[in-house]
Amino acid sequence: MSRLQALFANKKERVLNVYFTAGYPQLDSTTTIIQALQNNGADIIELGMPYSDPLADGPVIQESGNIALQNGMTIAVLFEQLKKIKGQINIPIILMGYMNPVMQYGFEKFCADASAVGVDGLILPDLPEYEFEMEYGAIIKKYGLDFVFLVTPETSTERIQQLDNLSTGFLYAVSSSATTGKDKDFNSVEKYLKQLQSMQLKNPVLVGFGIKDRNTFESACKYANGAIIGTAFIKALEGSINIDATVKQFISAVV
């Protein structure tokens, strides 16, 4: 059983996954933020690998990625950072990013190195389902990594079931087809989440895009196992003088 699967076996609801960009606000902020998230009640850490052309990300996450790249963040640097804290982190870490830099690094080398430094799973939104099935899924599985697919309100029932079958760890339910960081009317999202809930999916479901505070977190948790917060957390980190205090304050305001 992976750490993600063990988490959901023990905690069926109100799972909090917090996203931030590696190397933001400073190059060496990554490990400090990871430890602060673990110490203050996050259940999962979703670590963004900055990329110059992030299709699904809104302006706040895009800007954090630009700053992280300017700070010198690369996949190799990130793996060195994670290696230093591997034995100190007990909650699952997921890497979220895009195929271009991963392919430049070398896909199998990326999976091997990620596994070696304590990464539990991957989210690669631009990895096509067909290529996952034909080639990349076997490599991901070889290194013991979970893989998370995304579904949206426009995803057909048949495709949701297919992506659920291919995913391990959890299924990422995008609350709308907009980019991250947009405000959502959760009344309109409820119908979609109820549909997912009624489908008896094999994976737990976490809701992302538009979760920013206690109200939106509670709304998402009514129909899913938990939620993913990114943009609001990155805004909180901007200009933070004391990361520990910032993280503590942010999480206590959500859960």
**Which residues are known to be catalytic?**
46, 57
Give dist(CA 201, CA 168) in Å, integer. 11
Q: In what order do the strands lie in the sheet with 205-208?
A: 146-147, 121-123, 93-96, 44-48, 15-21, 226-229, 205-208, 171-174, 150-151
Are 166 and 129 within 8 A, CB to CB? Answer: yes
The tokens 């009624």 sit on which residue?
Answer: 198
Give dist(CA 21, CA 134) in Å, integer. 30
